[in-house]
A and B are shown apart, each in its own frame.
Chain A
Amino acid sequence: QVQMVQSGAEVKKPGASVKVSCKVSGYTLNELSMHWVRQAPGKGLEWMGGFDPEDGKKIDAQRFQGRVTMTEDTSTDTAYMELSSLRSDDTAVYYCATSIVGAPRYYGMDVWGQGTTVTVSS
């Protein structure tokens, strides 16, 4: 049984950075292709980036390029997403998501973290 537990809510000022963690249990990070998705209040889901096993590389959504950094600590099976130069419209719930069945491209994302609320306000 895989579980992904994310870090707690954050409040940040505009221009700051935030780092959200996602700890995996039941699997090792090496077995998973981790992705990050966010959802602004009252809005839809927005993919931010993740690892594509078909291409063997991390891919960021173009609108976040240069601002998002996704890293992994395989010694603790914890994935991280850091978003810099925060703006008020970055206020959202941030999710880590993955597939335990196979490549997300074909199997979707069947495991999600509980979400981390990030509020950007002066």
Chain B
Amino acid sequence: SYVLTQPPSVSVAPGQTARITCGGNNVGSTSVHWYQQKPGQAPVLVIYYDSDRPSGIPERFSGSKSGSTATLTISRVEAGDEADYYCQVWDSVSDHSKWVFGGGTKLTVL
């Protein structure tokens, strides 16, 4: 089955830049979306279509993709950015089309 691989955790000091990666065979040929989820809350879409930001999401959040790896970059990290982050793609290559989520990355702000 299709798998998206994320690092379990990323730690960064306030004001620094956090980069969270998402790797998978199909990443290069499909749109990648990113979600932020804080404890006890529903996920929030922070990046869609690889690099676009929904209305209301700070410019500090950006997305990029190279080959089979997508990256969520959070610049000038703030304490309020501490959360779990998930990447998501639509897998239409496998026999059974489906949404796939990465395993999630816990961002810790030191």
A-to-B contact residues, CB < 8 Å:
35, 37, 44-47, 50, 52, 55, 59, 61-62, 95, 97, 101, 104-110, 112-115
**Which chain A residue lies CB-closest to B44?**
A112
Q: With A45-B86, A110-B54 known to touch, is A61 a contact of B43 (CB < 8 Å)?
A: no
B-to-A contact residues, CB < 8 Å:
31, 33, 35, 37, 42-45, 47-49, 54, 84, 86, 88, 90, 96-104
CB within 8 A of B45: which of A105, A110, A113? A110
For residue A1, give the distance in angstroms from its CB to the closest CB of chain B: 12
Chain B residues with CB under 8 Å of A97's CB are 43
The reply to whether B33 and A47 contact each other, CB–CB distance below 8 Å, is no
The reply to whether A95 and B42 contact each other, CB–CB distance below 8 Å, is yes
The reply to whether B54 and A115 contact each other, CB–CB distance below 8 Å, is no
The reply to whether A115 and B42 contact each other, CB–CB distance below 8 Å, is yes
CB within 8 A of B42: which of A52, A101, A114? A114
The reply to whether A47 and B49 contact each other, CB–CB distance below 8 Å, is no
Q: What would be 5 A-B contacts, judged by CB atoms less than 8 Å apart?
A: A44-B104, A62-B98, A95-B43, A97-B43, A108-B33
For residue A35, give the distance in angstroms from its CB to the closest CB of chain B: 7
For residue B97, give the distance in angstroms from its CB to the closest CB of chain A: 6
The reply to whether B98 and A112 contact each other, CB–CB distance below 8 Å, is no
Chain B residues with CB under 8 Å of A62's CB are 96, 98
Query: How far is A115 from B37 in the complex, measured between Cα atoms in Å?
Result: 13
Q: With A108-B88, A115-B42 known to touch, is A46 a contact of B101 (CB < 8 Å)?
A: yes
